[in-house]
Amino acid sequence: MINHIVSIKDIDKETILDIIQYAAKIEANPEVYAEKQKGKILSTIFFEPSTRTRLSFESAMLRLGGKVIGIADPKTSSLKKGESISDTIRMAAAYSDIIVMRHFLEGSGRVAAEYSSVPVVSGGTGIQEHPTQALLDLYTIYKEFGRIDNLTIGLLGDLRYGRTIPSLLYAFAKFNNVKIYLYSPQQLRARMTVLSDVEDKLEYRVEDNLEDTIDQLDVLYVTRVQKERFPDEQAYERVKGSFIISPDTLKNAKENMIVMHPLPRVGEIEYDVDDLPQARYFQQAKNGVWTRMSILDKLLEERK
Amino acid sequence: MSEERTMIVSKIERGTVIDKIPAGKSLQLIYMLHITGDEMKTVAVGIHVNSASMGKKDILKLTNRDLSGAELNKIWLIAPDAVISTIKDYQVSDKRPISSMRSGNEFEGVLKCNNPTCATNFNEPVKNKFILMDRDPLLVRCYYCDRVMIEDNIKDQLGM
Ligand SMILES: [Zn+2]
């Protein structure tokens, strides 16, 4: 196992499978784990607000019987006053048994891990990575197909600044024969440095048109295309429409294809899709709690 | 021995010899080590010297000069097969390939990350650390933020 989770790059395939298979065990019998980490404390340190990720981790720790302390509002806390990551983490490590941190700077996860005497789990580091989101996404896919190998996965939306995209690509690259189709506006294509990391291990294709290739996909993973990423409103409006999923978009999709989204959505998936058999994004959010229970429990047990 | 005869200065009393530098790279190294000629120390530079193992090579002899860990890293970036000799009282007191003086593909103390939103640029007590991806031209990656920097981006920092 590992001491911290700050990058998917640090985690091998066996550990990924171990985490998702353990998440499945927890989901099947949550009551067995209800007091597993009794007396342990999780610190949630969010230098950048994120209600969902924080709540998901808090729920996970409480369901393990542990307790949660945290700094949730960077505007009113010392985090805003320029306290360094290293000092904040040393303080949190003194108060708790495990730390979840989100930070708007890339590299913050590795700095935190270096200064922490307790396990650090990244809740997102700038545009660099969001490893636990990728792990819960893999759990969702694994639950559906019973495997990660031999699947064709479409990633759609903001592939450049979306912090989960590198984590997902690094994760898929560890499995066998995963094909990736990348759909995004030109200015939001996946970063070359990320693609060059996986190109030997993963077959990926930059695709312009979802309609022509959707029939090949097992998974369609949709992410938000944010207005702020475009130079002006018109540029955003021009591309926006091509990255919205409606029931019509899915008409040629395989029957057992699933649509995923890390949420929150802002119109990328129409509400009409929610009732279709392919929609998986709400279950995906729920899977986040099981996956994070698995991660927290494994890291805490490792230290015993 | 023929190499030695091509050198203008054959033996130094105290200092460092950097041997087996790729032919033509020694001037770059002189800049990178901030050897300006103002220090009143003798420096002998051999460029395109015949070498049994390399065909042609460069060699630097620096009198009264030691190398820091960061400087060793700089030399390793440019000349991974360099052999470093320490000279005391006209004798070689230590002679080792640079590859045995440091390990792995990671290096510290030479570069700062050029990603403005890298945590290492924000008053943290960490040492910058990079991973060498390619040498000619240089390609390095920040260990912390994953930013890749190409030779053109780091020339100024290295004094190249
Ligand atoms: Zn960096």
Partner residue facing A110 (CB), from B115, B125, B144: B144
Average pLDDT of the residues of chain B: 89
Structural domains present in chain A: 8-130+286-302 (3.40.50.1370), 131-284 (3.40.50.1370)
| Alpha carbon distances (Å) from A29 to A6, A24, A63, A158, A285 | 28, 9, 12, 37, 18
- Range A204-211 average pLDDT: 92
- Among B5-14, B55-64, B72-81, the range scoring the smallest mean pLDDT is B5-14
When pLDDT is cut at 50, 70 and 90, the band that residue B1 belongs to is: very low
What integer pLDDT is reported at residue A183 of this predicted model? 96
CA–centroid distance, B149 to ligand 1, in Å, is 10
- Please, are residues A98 and A118 in contact by the beta-carbon 8 Å criterion? yes
Interface of A with B in 4-63 (CB under 8 A): none
What integer pLDDT is reported at residue B57 of this predicted model? 94
Higher pLDDT: A71 or B83? It is B83
- Range B59-88 average pLDDT: 93
Question: What span, in angstroms and rounded, lies between the C-alpha atoms of A115 and A122?
Answer: 14
- Beta strands A152-156 and A219-222: pairing type? parallel
What integer pLDDT is reported at residue A50 of this predicted model? 86
For the whole model, what pTM was predicted? 0.91
Q: How far is the alpha carbon of A114 from chain B, nearest alpha carbon, in Å?
A: 9
Report CB contact under 8 Å: A84, B124: yes
Residue A15 has pLDDT above 90, yes or no: yes
List, by residue range, all CATH 3.30.70.140 domains of chain B.
14-101
Report CB contact under 8 Å: A84, B118: no
Contacts of residue A247, defined as CB under 8 A and 6 or more positions apart, other chains included, come to A270, A272, A273, A276
ipTM: 0.93
Residue A266 has pLDDT above 90, yes or no: no
Partner residue facing B126 (CB), from A114, A126, A193: A114
CA–centroid distance, B117 to ligand 1, in Å, is 8
- Please, are residues B23 and B64 in contact by the beta-carbon 8 Å criterion? no
- Among A38-47, A228-237, A283-292, the range scoring the smallest mean pLDDT is A228-237
| CATH code that applies to domain B14-101 | 3.30.70.140
List, by residue range, all CATH 2.30.30.20 domains of chain B.
106-158
Look at residues A145, A211, A158, A168 and name the one whose alpha carbon lies nearest to residue A189.
Answer: A158
Residue A79 has pLDDT above 90, yes or no: no
In chain A, which residues have their Cβ closer than 8 Å to the Cβ of B126? Answer: 86, 111, 114
CA–centroid distance, B114 to ligand 1, in Å, is 7
What integer pLDDT is reported at residue B66 of this predicted model? 92
Q: What are B101-149's pLDDT values in tens digits?
A: 988 999 998 999 999 999 999 999 999 999 999 988 999 999 999 999 9
Q: What are A143-173's pLDDT values in tens digits?
A: 999 999 999 999 999 999 999 999 999 999 9
Helix (H), strand (E) at residue A204: strand A203-207
When pLDDT is cut at 50, 70 and 90, the band that residue A39 belongs to is: very high
User: Can A223 be counted among the known catalytic residues?
Assistant: no
Interface of B with A in 102-131 (CB under 8 A): 113, 115, 117-120, 122-126
Q: What are B49-64's pLDDT values in tens digits?
A: 998 888 999 999 999 9
What is the radius of gyration, based on Cα positions, of chain B?
17
**Cβ density class A102-126: b for 16+ within 10 Å, e for less:** bbebbbbbbbbbbbbebbbbbbbbb
Residue A231 has pLDDT above 60, yes or no: yes
User: Can A52 be counted among the known catalytic residues?
Assistant: yes
Structure tokens at A44: 């949630």
Domain at B106-158, CATH from 1.10.3720.10, 2.30.60.10, 2.30.30.20, 2.60.40.420: 2.30.30.20
In the sheet that A67-71 helps form, which strands lie side by side, from edge to edge?
A: A67-71, A41-46, A98-103, A120-125
From the candidates A4, A40, A54, A102, give the one annotated as an active-site residue: A102
Ion ligand 1 contact residues with beta carbon within 5 A? A 107; B 113, 115, 118, 142, 144-145, 147
